[in-house]
C-alpha cells in the first residue's frame, strides 16, 4: 500500500509540474529546486501596435494570470532566444538583473538559463509594494556583484520593463512600473549584494483595454504604419552590427525609428489620452531627441511627430569622433539617434531617467529589427562637448547625452549593392507625334557608375545607356505615335551587374477633339514657333 501511495504521489507531481499549475503547488513541488515553465504563448500582435497600446495599468480584476501568460512575459523580459541571445541587448554583455516572481503561494526567482522558476520563499508576499489586487508582482533587483554601476543596471531594467509592458498588453494584461514600497522587497530576505529597484504588478486590467484609432497629425514626417513583425519576431531576430552600409534609409524608416524612441501612440485610450512609446517617472519626460543622417542634423518634436533642421550638413564623422567606442563605426550608420537628458529636470530621479533611456534605446532596436535594419548602442561618449558641437547645440550645456543609437543596413564585406530604384521625371500628358524629354536618376550605394534601361511602353526600348556617374541626371527623349496611356519603365544597373527594381511613370496621349482639329494642328506643327508651343505639357 505504501508503494502504491508513493507511486501515485510521484506521478501526480509530474502531471502538475508539466501543466505548470503554480497556483496550487503540492508541498513536494514547492520544495523542488526548479519548476519548468510551460512554453511561451506565440503572441502575434504587430510590434507597432504593442508599442501604441503601452500604458500603465493600476487597477486589476480578480482573474488569475495563467502560467502560460506568466511564462510568455518572463521570456520576453529576460529569457534566451533560439540563437542563444538574451531578450534584451546589453552592449557590454553584462546582465545584472534578478527577477523575483511573487505569487499568493510563494515567491520564486526566474531562471532564464532553463526558463524555469526556482522556489525562493514560501508564503504570500503580495502585500509588498503597491496595487495589492494584482495576482502577480515582479520584483526587479540589481545584482551589485555583477556590475557596480547602478545607473547602467537601471538602464537594463528599463529594457526589461519595456518588454514586460509590450508583452503584457499584447496578452490583454496590464502592468505599471512602480518604485513605491520597493524597499519592502527586502522582507523576502534578499542577499546583501542585491538592491531592489522596481516592482511591476501584473493582472487583467479593470476596466479592460478600449482603444480608438486616431492617427497622429500630419507633419513633415510620414505617418506611423504597422510592419509585419511581432514583438516575439523582433526579440528573436534582433540585428546588431558595428559597421553599416552606405544605403540611405527611406523617410518612412527614419520616421518609424525616431517615433519609437519617444513619440506618441496612434491610439486613444478610453479617456481619450494618447500615451507615449515609453513610460516615465511622475509623468515627466526629460529627454530631447536628436538625429543625424548624411544631409543634416535634426531635432524631434514628439507632440507633432515632426523634425526641424539644426544643421544642414553631414555631421556623422564629427559625431563618431566624439565617441569612445573604437570598434563601432557610427559614421557609417545612415540614421543616428541621440537622446539627451535635460539636467535641469528633476535630478533626484536620476536612476529613473537611466531606466527611461534604456527603454528608449530598446524601442529603437526593436523597431530597427521590425524594419530589417541593424542597430547598436554606444554608451561611451568621450567628448560630450564635441558631440554637442557636432549637433549644433554647443550652448545647451544642460543637455547630457548618455547613449548613441546608430541604425542602418549592415555592412557585408565585399558585397556589391544594387543601385537605388531610378527616379523618373517629365511630362505626364501630351500629344502624339511630339517628342518629350524625360530625366532619369539613380544613386548607387557603392558610388559605382550606372547604366539605365528604358521601356517606353509602346514596344520601344533603349537598351543599356551608360555608364553614367552615380546620382547624375540623364535626359532621354521620346515621342508616341498614337493616342493612349503608356507606362514608362526604367531600371538601373551598376558596372558590376547588380540591377535595381523597376520604376514606373504613367503618361497619356489624349484623343484629338475632331478630325478638323487634327488637320489644323498637324498643319501648324510644321512651323517652329507652333511646334514649341504644342510640346508644352499643360
CA distance 340 to 399: 5
Statement to judge: residues 130 and 43 lie in one domain: yes
Q: Is the pLDDT of residue 88 over 50?
A: yes
**Residue 82 belongs to some domain of the structure:** yes
Closest among 360, 45, 389 to 232, alpha carbons compared: 45
Q: How many domains does the chain have?
A: 3
Cα–Cα distance, 55 to 279 (Å, whole number) = 8
Q: Confirm whether 213 is domain-assigned.
A: no
Q: CB of 168 within 8 A of CB of 124?
A: no
Residues 238 and 387 in one domain: yes
Edge-to-edge, what's the strand order for the sheet holding 474-478?
423-425, 436-441, 474-478
Task: Say yes or no: 74 and 106 in one domain.
Answer: yes
Residue 526 banded pLDDT, cuts 50, 70, 90: low
pLDDT at 20 over 70: no
Burial label, 9 (beta-carbon count in 10 A; 0-12, 13-18, 19+): exposed
- 62-96: b or e for each residue (b if 16 or more CB lie within 10 Å)? eeebbbebbbbbbbbbbbeeeeebbbbbbbeeebb
The rounded distance, in Å, linking the Cα atoms of 420 and 472 is 13
Asked if 319 contacts 359 with a C-beta cutoff of 8 angstroms, the reply is: no
Give strand pairing partners of 408: 374
DSSP conformational letter for 312 = S
Judgement on whether residues 339 and 434 belong to the same structural domain of the protein = no
Same structural domain for residues 270 and 340? yes
**Residue 27 placed within a domain:** no
Q: Does any domain span residue 428?
A: yes
Q: Which of 292, 294, 242, 233 is nearest to 412 (CA)?
A: 242
Neighbours of 26 (CB within 10 A): 14
Identify whether 154 is part of a domain.
yes
- Give the tens place of pLDDT for each residue, 158-196: 999 999 999 999 999 999 999 999 999 999 999 999 999
Are residues 121 and 249 both part of a single domain? no
Strand blocks (E) in 442-516: 450-455, 461-468, 474-478, 484-494, 503-509
DSSP H or E segment with residue 71: helix 67-78
- H or E element in which residue 213 lies: strand 212-213
Domain boundary among 408, 439, 456: 408
Shortest CA distance to 506 belongs to which of 429, 422, 420? Answer: 429
Instruction: List the domain range (segments joined by +) for residue 300.
Output: 219-408
- Alpha-carbon distance values, 298 to 175, 307, 314 (Å): 34, 6, 11
Question: Do 505 and 426 form a contact (C-beta atoms < 8 A)?
Answer: yes
For residues 250 and 260, give the distance between their C-alpha atoms in angstroms, rounded to a whole number: 16
461 and 365 housed in the same domain: no
Alpha-carbon distance of 26 to 5, in angstroms, equals 15
Q: Based on the fold, state whether residues 182 and 303 are members of the same structural domain.
A: no
**Least confident interval from 4-8, 42-46, 321-325, 327-331:** 4-8
Co-location of 354 and 434 in the same domain: no
Contact of 161 with 155, CB cutoff 8 Å: no
| pLDDT the model gives residue 18 | 36
How would you write 271-323 as a 3-class SS string? CCCCCECCCCHHHCCCEEEEEECCCCEEEEECCCCEEEEEECCCCHHHHHHCC
Domain of 395: which CATH number?
3.40.109.10
pLDDT at residue 16, rounded to an integer:
40
Q: If pLDDT is split at 50, 70 and 90, which confidence band does 8 have?
A: very low
| Cell numbers at 308, concatenated | 526641424
Whether residue 111 is found in the same domain as residue 247: no
Element at 389 (helix H, strand E): helix 384-391
372 — phi, psi (to 5°)?
A: 60, 40
Asked if the peptide bond before residue 328 counts as cis, ω within 30 degrees of 0, the response is no
Place of cell 483595454: 209
Comparing 10 with 250, which gets the higher pLDDT?
Answer: 250
> Residue 110 above 80 pLDDT?
yes
pLDDT band at 523 (very low <50, low <70, confident <90, very high): low
369 vs 24: CA distance, rounded Å: 40
469-505: per-residue pLDDT in tens? 999 999 999 999 999 999 999 999 999 888 998 999 9
Residue 101 has pLDDT above 70, yes or no: yes
Task: Let me know whether 105 and 177 are in one domain.
Answer: yes
Mean pLDDT of 524-532: 55
Q: Please identify which residue in the block is written with the cell numbers 504613367.
A: 506
Contact 299, 212 (CB under 8 A): no
4 assigned to some structural domain: no
Whether 305 and 225 have beta carbons less than 8 Å apart is answered as no
Average pLDDT, the chain: 89
The answer to whether position 22 is within a domain reads no
Residue 208 lies in a domain: no
For 3, the enclosing helix (H) or strand (E) is: helix 2-19
Neighbours of 496 (CB within 10 A): 12
Instruction: Look up the pTM and report it.
Output: 0.74
What mean pLDDT comes out for the span 448-453? 95
Radius of gyration of the chain (CA): 30
Same structural domain for residues 353 and 430?
no
Which of 175, 203, 231 is the last residue before a domain boundary?
A: 203
Of 150, 172, 203, the one marking the end of a domain is: 203
8 Å CB contact between 221 and 307 = yes
Least confident of 19-23, 72-76, 127-131, 349-353: 19-23
Amino acid at each position: 500500500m505504501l508503494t502504491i501511495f508513493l507511486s501515485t504521489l510521484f506521478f501526480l507531481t509530474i502531471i502538475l509540474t508539466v501543466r505548470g499549475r503554480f497556483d496550487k503547488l503540492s508541498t513536494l513541488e514547492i520544495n523542488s529546486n526548479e519548476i519548468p515553465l510551460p512554453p511561451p504563448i506565440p503572441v502575434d500582435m504587430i510590434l507597432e501596435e504593442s508599442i501604441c497600446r503601452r500604458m500603465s495599468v493600476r487597477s486589476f480584476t480578480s482573474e488569475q494570470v495563467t502560467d502560460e501568460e506568466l511564462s510568455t512575459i518572463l521570456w520576453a523580459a529576460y529569457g534566451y532566444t533560439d540563437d542563444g541571445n538574451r531578450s534584451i541587448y546589453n552592449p557590454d554583455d553584462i546582465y545584472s538583473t534578478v527577477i523575483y516572481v511573487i505569487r499568493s503561494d510563494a515567491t520564486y526567482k526566474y531562471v532564464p538559463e532553463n526558463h524555469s522558476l526556482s522556489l525562493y520563499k514560501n508564503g504570500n508576499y503580495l502585500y509588498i509594494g503597491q496595487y495589492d489586487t494584482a495576482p502577480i508582482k515582479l520584483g526587479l533587483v540589481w545584482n551589485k556583484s555583477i556590475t557596480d554601476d547602478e545607473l547602467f543596471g537601471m538602464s537594463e531594467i528599463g529594457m526589461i520593463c519595456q518588454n514586460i509592458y509590450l508583452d503584457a498588453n499584447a496578452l490583454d494584461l496590464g502592468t505599471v512600473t512602480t518604485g513605491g514600497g520597493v524597499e519592502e522587497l527586502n522582507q523576502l530576505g534578499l542577499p546583501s549584494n542585491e538592491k531592489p529597484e522596481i516592482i511591476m504588478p501584473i493582472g487583467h486590467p479593470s476596466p479592460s483595454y478600449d482603444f480608438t484609432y486616431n492617427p497622429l497629425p500630419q507633419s513633415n514626417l510620414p505617418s506611423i504604419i504597422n510592419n509585419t513583425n511581432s514583438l516575439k519576431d523582433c526579440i528573436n531576430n534582433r540585428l546588431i552590427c558595428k559597421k553599416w552600409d552606405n544605403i540611405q534609409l527611406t523617410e518612412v524608416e527614419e520616421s518609424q525609428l525616431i517615433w519609437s524612441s519617444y513619440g506618441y501612440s496612434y491610439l486613444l485610450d478610453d479617456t481619450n489620452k494618447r500615451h507615449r512609446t515609453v513610460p516615465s517617472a511622475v509623468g515627466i519626460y526629460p529627454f530631447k531627441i536628436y538625429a543625424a543622417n548624411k544631409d543634416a542634423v535634426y531635432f524631434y518634436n514628439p507632440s507633432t511627430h515632426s523634425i526641424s533642421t539644426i544643421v544642414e550638413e553631414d555631421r556623422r564623422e564629427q559625431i563618431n569622433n566624439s565617441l569612445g567606442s573604437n570598434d563601432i563605426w557610427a559614421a557609417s550608420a545612415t540614421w543616428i539617434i541621440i537622446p539627451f537628458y535635460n539636467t535641469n529636470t528633476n535630478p533626484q530621479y536620476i536612476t529613473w531617467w537611466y531606466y527611461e533611456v534604456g527603454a528608449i534605446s530598446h524601442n529603437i532596436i526593436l523597431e530597427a529589427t521590425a524594419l530589417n535594419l541593424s542597430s547598436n548602442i554606444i554608451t561611451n561618449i568621450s567628448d560630450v562637448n564635441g558631440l554637442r558641437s557636432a549637433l549644433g547645440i554647443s550652448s545647451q550645456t544642460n543637455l547630457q547625452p548618455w547613449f548613441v543609437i546608430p541604425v542602418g543596413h549592415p555592412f557585408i564585406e565585399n558585397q556589391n549593392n544594387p543601385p537605388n530604384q531610378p527616379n523618373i521625371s517629365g511630362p505626364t500628358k501630351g500629344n502624339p507625334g511630339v517628342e518629350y524629354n524625360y530625366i532619369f536618376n539613380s544613386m548607387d550605394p557603392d558610388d559605382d557608375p550606372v547604366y539605365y534601361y528604358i521601356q517606353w511602353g509602346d514596344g520601344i526600348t533603349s537598351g543599356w545607356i551608360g555608364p553614367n556617374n552615380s546620382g547624375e541626371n540623364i535626359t532621354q527623349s521620346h515621342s508616341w505615335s498614337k493616342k493612349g496611356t503608356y507606362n514608362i519603365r526604367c531600371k538601373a544597373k551598376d558596372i558590376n551587374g547588380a540591377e535595381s527594381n523597376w520604376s514606373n511613370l504613367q503618361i497619356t496621349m489624349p484623343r484629338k477633339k475632331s478630325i478638323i482639329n487634327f488637320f489644323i494642328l498637324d498643319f501648324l506643327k510644321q512651323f517652329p514657333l507652333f511646334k514649341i508651343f504644342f510640346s508644352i505639357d499643360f
